[in-house]
Amino acid sequence: MAAYTAVPPLPKHVAFTYYKRARKAVLQAIDKPSLQTVQAFYFINLFAQWNGQPSIGRPFFKSALDMLLLLQLDIDPDDSPWLYPLKLTDRQKEERRRVFWCCYWFLTLEQATTSDAVQIQLSTNRIRPPRPIEGVFKGFILQTCESQSLIAEIRRHHSKAPKSLVDILGSESIITLNSRLIQVHQQFPAEYLLIAENAENLSTLDYSRFLGQLSSILKTDVAYICTLNLNILASVCMLHRPKLYLSAVKHLDPEKLNDEARVLISSALSHSIDSAHRALCLLGFYLDVMEGSARERLPVDQRLYFSSQIVLTQLNVYPIFEVMIVFWFFVCRTRPCWRRYSAVGISNVPLLLERLVGLVSFVKRVFAAEKNTPGTMEPILKCMEAMVAEMSNLVAGQGATEFSSNNDVADLELGMKVMALGEQEEDSAVPIITQEPCAFLGLLGMEVAGGIRWKGRSEEAWRLFWKLNS
């Protein structure tokens, strides 16, 4: 890990050499459970993740979780009588807690972003929260885990196509999930939430208030606040996505639906667009403060903690992808008869398109910074570029692509390539496998620009659902 993150960076082949040595050593120690071995498995997995090959790291993460449970790291050291003879120091106790919470954080992230996630449920009821240590351990890990856990719940719910349009509007499970979303959002302290007065644009007062809120937390937690807020907004977009899609179904005219159905769809449109606007503005605020004109408003001694590098992370790409999907669908697929029922709209589509081009540029910067070609972000980037291209064509007067789940044109399915770490695609000695890309949600059966699809276990079922109900 040190070789990979060294400044200046070491050559890739050097980092991969250390990775292979570490992997060999830890496999020899697999029959000797220890805290250090759990850490080693975790870091080997993290190294694979950083190199865009999550499926390579997943078996190591599974071993880390199995050993974590075997060592009972999910029970607080202060409540573990078998540890008393060891007379652990406070720092050693904290280390056990941090190992647990790091593994739990990554587990919730995996379950929020992939169908192949390790299916182990860790309980957090028997272990105390980690103690924030500036420069060593982040203070917002509990809130981040909670947001990722909520997203994972929504993802699991949407992993199965519904049986009917009525199920999308008001099934018991979606009502329960909506209550869960409200409950989780209300748990976050108000001082952590960066909420603007207006969804579509930030005012000078918003800037001042946001900077005031950020100045009251540990400076090393500034990046976590960004990701936490983006996740919260993305969860709203995710929950309402199927109802948002109903606004493109031709036989669902708002004037012909009953009041309840019309309100449910229009409310989903409003909540989705509102959250997408807020997420777009929030990322813009962070980038403006980190490298734009608003940076001058920061005290000189705080600027170190507001560098663009802390925002250029894949963790922020996942919620941003949700934002792009919402805007793309509303602009290119939502029928005009539904737009006037949305309490929140898009006042200036060309300006929005300009901002979305900036989103694509942001993802490209993350792609370059994290060096994980041809890994997890490439499918997201290609899909976002296609969405912007389709919106650009519409703005240019070339018309929108018709809503269709039965397109006979040659399709392109976006997937994630899997290969050995340190190997280039052209050098691979074995056939390269393409798996479902990492994302909070795929396209749920939709196609971009007339034929671009998302590879996923439930995508075909969703495509069939829309075909039968279009």
The backbone torsions φ and ψ at residue 334, rounded to the nearest 5 degrees and listed phi first, read -60, 130
Q: What local confidence, expressed as pLDDT, does residue 410 receive?
A: 43
Low-confidence ranges of the chain (pLDDT < 50): 135-137, 373-374, 403-410, 419, 421, 428, 430
Task: Give the C-alpha distances (Å, rounded to integers) separating 385 from 268, 362, 409.
Answer: 25, 12, 19
Task: Write down the residue that tokens 């990701």 correspond to.
Answer: 227
Count Cβ atoms within 10 A of the Cβ of residue 408 and give its class: 0-12 exposed, 13-18 middle, 19 or more buried: exposed
Q: What local confidence, expressed as pLDDT, does residue 19 receive?
A: 64
Q: What local confidence, expressed as pLDDT, does residue 9 receive?
A: 59
How many residues are recorded in the chain? 470
Q: What local confidence, expressed as pLDDT, does residue 411 receive?
A: 58
**Nearest to 41, CA basis, from 66, 60, 54:** 60
Q: Taking a C-beta distance cutoff of 8 angstroms, is the pair 280, 340 a contact?
A: no
Burial 328-357 (b: 16+ CB within 10 A, else e): bbbbbbbeeebbebbebbbeeeeebbebbe
**Nearest to 68, CA basis, from 116, 102, 20:** 102
**What is the distance between the alpha carbons of residues 414 and 449, in angstroms, rounded to a whole number?**
13
Q: What local confidence, expressed as pLDDT, does residue 470 receive?
A: 82
How is the chain split into domains, by residue range? 1-131
Task: Write down the residue that tokens 């995996």 correspond to.
Answer: 110
**What is the distance between the alpha carbons of residues 57 and 418, in angstroms, rounded to a whole number?**
11
**What is the distance between the alpha carbons of residues 381 and 118, in angstroms, rounded to a whole number?**
25
Question: Over the stretch 15-52, which tens digit does the pLDDT of each residue have?
Answer: 667 667 777 777 777 778 899 999 999 988 888 877 77
Q: Which helix (H) or strand (E) holds 65?
A: helix 54-70
Q: Taking a C-beta distance cutoff of 8 angstroms, is the pair 111, 117 a contact?
A: yes
**Nearest to 349, CA basis, from 323, 336, 330, 322:** 330
Amino acid sitting at position 80: S
Q: Taking a C-beta distance cutoff of 8 angstroms, is the pair 112, 157 a contact?
A: no
User: Is residue 141 classed as helix, strand or coil in its secondary structure?
Assistant: helix
Q: What local confidence, expressed as pLDDT, does residue 342 receive?
A: 85
The backbone torsions φ and ψ at residue 160, rounded to the nearest 5 degrees and listed phi first, read -115, 125
**What is the distance between the alpha carbons of residues 127 and 85, in angstroms, rounded to a whole number?**
20
**Nearest to 200, CA basis, from 328, 355, 322:** 355
Q: Taking a C-beta distance cutoff of 8 angstroms, is the pair 264, 324 a contact?
A: no
Q: Taking a C-beta distance cutoff of 8 angstroms, is the pair 97, 77 a contact?
A: yes
Question: Please, what is the average pLDDT of the chain?
Answer: 85
**What is the distance between the alpha carbons of residues 138 and 129, in angstroms, rounded to a whole number?**
11
Count Cβ atoms within 10 A of the Cβ of residue 167 and give its class: 0-12 exposed, 13-18 middle, 19 or more buried: middle
382-386's contacts with Cβ under 8 Å and 24+ in sequence apart are: 382/414, 382/452, 383/321, 383/324, 383/414, 383/443, 383/448, 383/452, 383/454, 384/321, 384/324, 384/359, 384/360, 385/360, 386/448, 386/449, 386/452
Question: Over the stretch 58-84, which tens digit does the pLDDT of each residue have?
Answer: 888 999 999 999 999 999 999 999 999
Please count the other Cβ atoms lying within 10 Å of the Cβ belonging to residue 224: 20
Q: What local confidence, expressed as pLDDT, does residue 403 receive?
A: 45
Q: Find the helix packing angle between 314-332 and 90-113, rounded to 10°.
A: 30
Q: What local confidence, expressed as pLDDT, does residue 13 receive?
A: 60
